[in-house]
Chain A
Amino acid sequence: MSVILWAVLAIVAGLGFVAVSARRALRLPPRPELPPGETLPPTVLQRLARRSLIAGLLLIAAAVTAVLRAGADTFYDDDATRLTVTFLMLAALVVLAGFGMRAQGLARKPGSPLDERDVAILDRAPLLEGTAMMVTLALWVVGLQQTFWSDGAVPLVWLYLMMWSLLLLKGLVLPMGVLLGYRRS
């Protein structure tokens, strides 16, 4: 099968995944009813997840922009760009992994600000982590295999990017799962 056909297949699979997720999102229960003009304050865990997700996504967006600006094939040859990208991705990983550690720490702390619902949401949040990583890994492998099949070898920089994408995806799933959990329960 040609590269174009594989690319189409990957895009269709990606869009299918997004469509299924959106469909599930549309079936979320309505927000709790409150008296007019009253808002429900977010919980400590919700605020922490939101802040971590925004900070993580901003750092990832900056890293992706730096990679695209220098060229995905060549950014690794320029020391300054490579260090910048590595620093941004490490910072994103620290922010996202830090959320998980902080949340687990809060859940175990005596007199914790998290209640039983918060802890249940936190426990359920990583349920889709494995599936999301498998889908991403599969798309990476198909794309790399088809692009570099004739060369017989994949440039190391792509494996480096694949590793970072999987690590960061693992970090993103937890705060996303927490925020979705508050909408679902």
Chain B
Amino acid sequence: MPRAEISNVIRRLRFEREEMTQQALADAVGCTRQTIVLLEQGRYVPSLALALRIARVFGRPVDDIFQLVEEP
């Protein structure tokens, strides 16, 4: 199976939402700020539940926010 990474556009979406802070997003989705920092830096892959909660906060479909980057 090819190796896959998940990239995301959370940081851009936060700034588009009147520079929403990481803490505000963390509070809205029920996780810690550390998790948001690591998510934005591509160092943590969220569960489906967390991905869906993030998508709901931004009012976007999940695959608008998270993309599968497959390495050959």
Contact = CB atoms under 8 A, between A and B. Distances in A.
Interface of A: 29, 32-34, 40-43, 115-118, 182, 185
A117 B35 contact: yes
Q: Which 4 A-B pairs have the closest CB atoms?
A: A115-B31, A117-B35, A43-B32, A32-B37
A185 B43 contact: yes
B38 interface: yes
What DSSP secondary structure best describes chain A's contact surface? Answer: loop
B38 A116 contact: no
Given A32-B43, A117-B44, A40 B37 contact: yes
B32 A32 contact: no
Contacts of A185: 38, 43-44
A32 B33 contact: no
Interface string B15-38: 000000000000000111111011
B47 A40 contact: no
